Chains A and B, each alone.
Chain A
């Protein structure tokens, strides 16, 4: 298949559901196919069955015993065709998702600060709902 006409696949590995949801939604709106994971095992599950990942956006802190840095190191050694982007924190994740969107199939008028602001709004609601509970 012609790679230029294929939908590019980004795997977002992020254990915080609100961050993962907003970043994944943003990337989908930019034209990417997005796979969502929370742990290193999820990445291996995709690669081991032979599915292709173009870009791996992985947070340093993951669910499970293996951190994002270890995942990035292993991927670079074993799957050299997968681009790995390590993220740390909301603003960093938003910035790097926005960088990807600049290259995406569809350009959306979002800015990285909008992605970060949306995550922070949802997290503020989470704190409010926790206080009510």
Chain B
């Protein structure tokens, strides 16, 4: 019963769900506020491990926005591989201050890379474009 109620609550909300994975508090705070104001539902995770918990437990995550360099054993690239293997329908946008990190991002309509530093307006645009590609046939 509880699981049914939870799934119903999640399906009623029509906002696109962004899972923001960032271990730096200030970046996570400002980015999540901006994206919420832009109309997304934003879930904040501070590590790849937390992100895996959220994706495994929620019925819907549309896109993961993740820093390549994260504290902990799992970095953004490993998280991207986990998402691709177990949740291939979830889009993935990676970011890094190291532009060469983009070379490791698998290409595809639901995979993307945005170099740091980025403008929040540009990030919003890229998320919207990727989600549009994801949902277009």
Binding site for B on A (CB under 8 A): 17-18, 20-21, 24, 28, 35-39, 41-42, 45-46, 63, 114, 117-118, 120-123, 125-126, 129
Contact = CB atoms under 8 A, between A and B. Distances in A.
B137 interface: no
Question: Main SS of chain A's interface residues?
Answer: helix
Interface in B16-40: 25-26, 28-29, 32-33, 36
Contact of A126 (B28, B46, B57): B57
Contacts of A117: 2, 5
A88 B128 CA distance: 38
B57 A125 contact: yes
18 contacts: A17-B44, A17-B45, A17-B46, A35-B33, A39-B25, A41-B25, A42-B29, A45-B29, A117-B2, A118-B5, A118-B6, A121-B6, A122-B57, A125-B3, A125-B57, A126-B57, A129-B53, A129-B56
Q: Is the interface of B mostly helix, strand, loop or mixed?
A: helix
